[in-house]
Structure 1
């Protein structure tokens, strides 16, 4: 897990949480899992 933290005027802010190895760019074995996991995302709701 990777967490980006920022200290701005004494306040801590979280910039990003990364829960995957290689920042989500690693390949899956078997490759079918790449599609299975990708299908769980509802990209129409991302703003």
Structure 2
């Protein structure tokens, strides 16, 4: 679920302020998303 949310984005969950986009935004691969989520969950 977290990997899908990371890749797809969406509405903010913690208030009404939308996080600004970085310029340029490189695409994130499924493998990179998995690695990031696993790292965060193990911190």
**TM class by smaller structure:** under 0.3
Higher helix share: 2
Larger Rg, first or second structure (1 or 2) = 1
Higher strand share: 1
Structure number with greater CO (CA < 8 Å, separation at least 6) is: 2
